[in-house]
Structure 1
């Protein structure tokens, strides 16, 4: 299954950083997100788009995980030549990540 089947997402930016929150639709699915959506898997899935460190914060009371991604916007809104200078599409891309629930 894809992450978008059990979660939705919000994105924000500050300078050359982007944060992506992954929020479970149903609290029963939050443990799956906690276990399967790791920094390593996110970094691998987003590839060279994220050139810096990724920090993960868990917000269990909301059933959410927030990822702060450094060096993700090629300099930030006023300096980037990217079409998506705010990184808003990154949340949609992340929600396409496959989640294996069999292990």
Structure 2
């Protein structure tokens, strides 16, 4: 199944760092997300875009995770030539991951 069937996301950016929040729709799906959506898997999934470290922060009381992806926005908003220089579509792209 696609990740979007279990969770929704929000994105943010700061400089050349993209942050994706992944929030489970149902608390009972949180352990599955914890097992299947690892920082290594997210880094591999975005390997064409993210050239730095991917760190996952667990927020169990919110049934959510924050993924901080370094060197992910082509130098940042003021330097990037990308169409989506803020990386807002990265959250939607993550939701297409198979779990």
Q: TM-score, normalised by structure 2?
A: 0.98
> Which ranges in structure 2 are unaligned for 5 or more consecutive residues?
none
Structural RMSD (CA) = 0.5
> Which ranges in structure 1 are unaligned for 5 or more consecutive residues?
none
Structure-1 separation of matches of 2:90 and 2:51 = 14
Q: TM-score, normalised by structure 1?
A: 0.94
Matches within 5 A, 1:22-33: 22-33=22-33
Structure-2 separation of matches of 1:45 and 1:70 = 14
Q: 1:48: Cα distance to partner?
A: 1.8
Aligned residues: 99
Is 1:79 the counterpart of 2:79 in the alignment? yes
* Cross-structure match for 2:3: 3
4+ long deviations beyond 6 Å: none
